[in-house]
Structure 1
Amino acid sequence: MFKSIRSQSKSIPAFSIIEAVVGMAITAIIMGILFVIFSIVTGRMLDFKSQNQLVNDLNRLTYSLNKDIFEKEKMTASENEIYFNGYTGERVSYQFLDDYILRNSETFVDTFRIKMNKIILDTVKSKTEQFVFQKIKLNVEANEKELDLRFYKRVYPNELLQRIKSE
């Protein structure tokens, strides 16, 4: 009743080579599909980010211009620049370049990545002709469409009298 060690074989459960290759092929196919999906989602997220950046820049520009119009005493303009002088002597300038707009103040410089097509400066009266306003019309390009932004700064009677005296 001797048992022979050689005749008794212990088998260890394992994958065969074919099963391992099939598993790796299925994993490679799944990884390829995930990579394609990830690339598409990343591209769409970058498009969304650039559109969101444009909207954010437009909102910041309109907020900054409105704030400077109403908080500053005097506005002067040249061909591609607008200056605001405050009551206490502070000065803010907007430089309108081809691909972006720069806002320079004493504390910081702000950049708006907005393409400027043209700027129109004019003086207009209210419907009742009681008030006079300086009108700024900015024609910008947003999402391949032209957009007009209009801003108005009231001109007070003392400023009109100063202009008449200086002429």
Structure 2
Amino acid sequence: MADREHGYEVTVRWTGNTGPGTSGYKAYSRDTDITAAGKPTMIAASADPTFLGDAERWNPEEMLVASLSQCHMLSYLAVCSLKKVVVTAYEDVASGTMREERGGGGRFTEVVLRPVVTVAEEGMVAEATALHERAHAICFIANSVNFPVRHEPVIRVAGA
């Protein structure tokens, strides 16, 4: 199959002008709305509360962790289906660590995915465990970041 390119477009709209705009660092809200054409759901976003954001809204760091988790899940479910491993439930409580640097800026140092996967039969556990490596290798988002993305899966058997 030939290489293909895919484009993705979202609109990020700042909604945090409380009147004086950015006349001072604390003079404005970090609130934004994230939308995409044809999508019914809008993501209400802000900065991390550490950076004067609204804790009730999504921040970019959380969305990055969520993107990595979702991409791994989708890749994993695909490879499981191809290998006849029947997944009946999947939940991931993922976490990311970001380090701030002196003088501003910062970077993620790692993201850890902790999927709890339920498979239909005991005989699927070993392959279900191994397929996390394949899913990681083909995850578009994990292949696009410059920090480690680790996974610590737990595999359960339905009804056990």
TM-score by length of 1: 0.28
Larger Rg: 1
Q: Whose helix fraction is larger, Structure 1's or Structure 2's?
A: 1
Give me the TM-score of the superposition, normalised by structure 2: 0.29
